C-alpha cells in the first residue's frame, strides 16, 4: 500500500507517506519551554514518516494561548534540542511549525498586552481558551507597516533558531485563522496599505514570510499549511477560490518543499462557499509536494494517494491517540479513541499514555 511505502521529500527519505500534523497540546511551562513529556510524546510517534510539531510561537508578541511553546529564547531552543535529538536517535524526522497568533489571543495570557492584527477587527464567532477560562476576544491593535516588517524578520529568526534546535525543517502556520490567515482574509484585513485591499496585497504577507524562511534556512527545508475553505477563527473570503488560486500561483514561483492543504471541517460549514474538494481544486494547481489533511482514515488516505495529487497524508487526532498509527494501519488493528478532555493542557494523562498495540 502506497501509504506505508518509503518516499522522498526534498532531501529527506521518509519511511512512509504518513505525516503527523501539527497539534497544540498546551503542555509547555509558563516560559514556553518544553520538557521530558514532550520528548516522550514525540519519540513515541517516530514511526510517522514526518512529524510536524505543535504550533510554536516565533516571538513574545506571537503568543495567544497559555502553555504554548516558543522558539525565541536560548532556554526554549535548548529544550527543543533535546526533543529533536531523541526523535533523530529513534529514526524520526521532525519539522517545527512556526506560529504567530495575531488576533487569536487574549491579553490575560499576554502580560496584559492586547493582541495585534492586520486590522482592529475582533473574532466574534467564538470564544478563546485562556488560563482564566473561556473569554470573549478583544479588539486587536492594528499593526504598523514597520511592525509587519519586524514580524517577517521574527519568522526568519525563529526558522534559524529551529535549525539551531536541530529541526529538519520549518512549516509556516498559515491556516486556522492565525496571523498569516488573517492577512489573507477579506473579513479580517481591511487595511488600505500595501498589505490590504486587493488579493495581491492581502497575499503579500504570506509570500514575504515564505521568502524570508527560504532565505533563512533553504528552500528544501520550508513548507506551509493552508486551509482555504476552513472558516475557523472567523475567517471568511469573498471569493476563496480566487484568493488561493492567486496565492498558489505566486507560491509556485518559489521553490520549496511542500504545501499541507487542510480541507474544511464539516463542523464549520460555510453555505456560500464552493462545493469543490480542496485537494482537487488547489492541489492540482500546486507545483510543490502536496500533503493532504483533514478527516482521513486508512481507506480514504489510500484512495487520496491513488488519485495522484497528494504525495503524503497528514493525520491529526488519529496520531494523537495512536502513537503507533502506521503499524495499526499495516495490521488493520483497532484504533484508540482520542480523549477531547485532555487535548489541551494538563500533564501525562491523555498525552503520553495512549497504549501501543500489544501484538
Ligand atoms: C488538539 C488539536 C490541536 C491542534 N493544533 C494545531 C496546531 O497547533 N497547528 C495546526 O496547524 N493545526 C492544529 N490542529 C489541526 C490539526 O493539525 C489537523 O489539521 C486537524 O485535526 C484535521 O486533521 P485530522 O482530521 O486528521 O485530525 C489541531 C488539532 C487538534 C485536534
Does the Cβ of 262 fall within 6 Å of ligand 1? yes
pLDDT digits (tens, 9 = 90+) for 47-84: 999 999 999 999 999 999 999 999 999 999 999 999 99
Here the CATH number for the domain that contains residue 311 is 3.20.20.70
Does the Cβ of 176 fall within 6 Å of ligand 1? yes
Q: Which of 317, 313, 290, 240 is nearest to 4 (CA)?
A: 313
**Range of 97's domain?**
2-342
Q: Could you tell me if residue 358 is inside a domain? A: no
What are the CA-CA distances from residue 171 to residues 36, 339, 340 (Å)? Answer: 23, 26, 25
Residue nearest atom 11 of ligand 1, based on CA coordinates: 22
Domain total in the chain: 1
CB hemisphere CA count around 68 (13 angstroms) = 29
Q: Which of 161, 165, 171, 104 is nearest to 138 (CA)?
A: 104
Ligand 1 center to residue 146 CA distance, Å? Answer: 31
Residue nearest atom 3 of ligand 1, based on CA coordinates: 23
326 vs 77: CA distance, rounded Å: 29
Ligand 1 center to residue 262 CA distance, Å? Answer: 9
Q: Which of 298, 304, 292 is nearest to 331 (CA)?
A: 298
Q: Could you tell me if residue 16 is inside a domain? A: yes
The stretches of the chain forming alpha helices (DSSP H) are 36-44, 74-89, 145-164, 179-184, 199-217, 240-251, 278-281, 298-307, 317-321, 325-330
* 351 catalytic residue (yes or no): no
Q: How many residues are there in the chain?
A: 359
Atom of ligand 1 nearest to the CA of 171: 11
146 vs 114: CA distance, rounded Å: 18
DSSP state of 170: E
Catalytic residue among 41, 42, 178, 354: 178
231 vs 121: CA distance, rounded Å: 15
pLDDT block averages, 10 residues each, the chain of length 359:
91 96 98 98 98 99 97 98 98 98 97 97 95 96 98 99 98 98 98 98 98 98 98 97 98 97 95 96 98 98 98 98 98 98 97 96
Q: Give the DSSP H/E element, type plus range, for residue 313.
A: strand 312-315
Q: Is 112 exposed, middle or buried (0-12, 13-18, 19+ CB in 10 A)?
A: exposed
Atom of ligand 1 nearest to the CA of 315: 26
Ligand 1 center to residue 90 CA distance, Å? Answer: 24
pLDDT for the residue 1: 60
Place of cell 529544550: 79
Atom of ligand 1 nearest to the CA of 175: 11
179 vs 199: CA distance, rounded Å: 16
Three-class SS state of 327: helix
Place of cell 496571523: 179
DSSP state of 312: E
204 vs 210: CA distance, rounded Å: 10
pLDDT for the residue 359: 87
pLDDT for the residue 149: 98
Ligand 1 pocket check: which of 19, 20, 24 to mutate, most ligand atoms within 8 Å of Cβ? 24
Residue nearest atom 10 of ligand 1, based on CA coordinates: 22
pLDDT for the residue 338: 98
Q: Could you tell me if residue 204 is inside a domain? A: yes
Q: Could you tell me if residue 350 is inside a domain? A: no
Does the Cβ of 118 fall within 6 Å of ligand 1? no
Q: Could you tell me if residue 97 is inside a domain? A: yes
CB atoms near residue 275 (< 10 Å): 6
pLDDT for the residue 267: 93
Residue nearest atom 21 of ligand 1, based on CA coordinates: 316
Q: What is the dihedral angle through the alpha carbons of 149, 152, 156, 157, rounded to the nearest 10 degrees?
A: 70
Q: Could you tell me if residue 56 is inside a domain? A: yes
pLDDT for the residue 11: 87
Q: Could you tell me if residue 76 is inside a domain? A: yes
Does the Cβ of 21 fall within 6 Å of ligand 1? yes
Q: Could you tell me if residue 352 is inside a domain? A: no
Ligand 1 center to residue 116 CA distance, Å? Answer: 23
108 vs 259: CA distance, rounded Å: 34
Does the Cβ of 22 fall within 6 Å of ligand 1? yes
Does the Cβ of 171 fall within 6 Å of ligand 1? no
Amino acid at each position: 500500500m502506497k501509504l506505508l511505502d518509503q518516499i522522498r521529500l526534498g532531501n529527506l527519505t521518509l519511511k512512509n507517506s504518513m505525516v503527523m500534523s501539527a497539534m497544540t497540546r498546551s503542555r509547555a511551562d509558563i516560559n514556553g519551554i518544553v520538557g521530558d513529556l514532550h520528548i516522550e510524546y514525540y519519540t513515541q510517534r517516530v514511526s510517522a514518516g514526518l512529524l510536524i510539531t505543535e504550533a510554536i510561537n516565533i516571538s513574545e508578541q506571537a503568543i495567544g494561548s497559555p502553555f504554548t511553546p516558543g522558539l525565541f529564547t536560548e532556554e526554549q531552543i535548548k529544550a527543543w534540542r533535546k526533543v529533536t535529538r531523541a526523535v533523530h536517535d529513534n529514526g524520526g524526522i521532525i519539522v517545527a511549525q512556526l506560529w504567530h497568533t495575531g488576533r487569536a489571543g487574549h491579553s490575560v495570557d499576554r502580560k496584559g498586552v492586547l493582541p495585534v492584527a492586520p486590522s482592529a477587527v475582533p473574532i466574534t464567532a467564538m470564544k478563546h481558551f485562556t488560563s482564566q477560562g473561556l473569554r470573549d476576544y478583544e479588539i486587536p491593535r492594528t499593526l504598523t507597516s514597520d511592525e509587519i516588517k519586524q514580524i517577517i524578520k521574527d519568522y526568519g529568526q525563529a526558522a534559524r533558531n529551529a535549525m539551531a534546535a536541530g529541526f529538519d525543517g520549518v512549516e509556516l502556520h498559515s491556516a486556522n485563522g492565525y496571523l498569516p490567515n488573517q492577512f489573507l482574509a477579506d473579513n479580517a484585513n481591511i487595511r488600505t496599505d500595501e498589505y490590504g485591499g486587493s488579493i495581491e496585497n492581502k497575499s503579500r504577507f504570506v509570500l514575504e514570510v515564505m521568502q524570508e524562511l527560504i532565505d533563512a534556512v533553504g528552500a528544501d527545508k520550508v513548507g506551509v499549511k493552508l486551509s482555504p475553505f476552513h472558516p475557523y477563527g472567523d475567517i471568511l473570503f469573498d471569493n476563496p477560490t480566487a484568493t488561493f488560486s492567486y496565492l498558489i500561483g505566486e507560491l509556485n514561483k518559489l521553490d520549496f518543499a511542500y504545501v499541507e492543504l487542510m480541507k474544511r471541517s464539516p463542523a464549520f460549514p460555510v453555505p456560500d462557499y464552493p462545493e469543490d474538494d480542496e485537494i482537487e481544486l488547489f492541489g492540482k494547481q500546486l507545483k510543490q509536494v502536496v500533503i493532504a489533511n483533514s478527516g482521513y482514515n486508512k481507506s480514504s488516505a489510500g484512495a487520496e494517494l491513488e488519485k495522484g495529487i497528494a504525495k503524503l497524508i497528514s493525520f491529526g487526532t488519529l496520531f494523537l491517540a495512536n502513537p503507533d498509527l502506521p503499524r495499526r494501519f499495516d495490521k488493520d488493528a483497532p484504533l484508540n479513541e482520542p480523549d477531547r478532555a485532555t487535548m489541551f493542557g494538563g500533564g501525562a494523562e491523555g498525552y503520553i499514555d495512549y497504549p501501543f498495540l500489544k501484538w
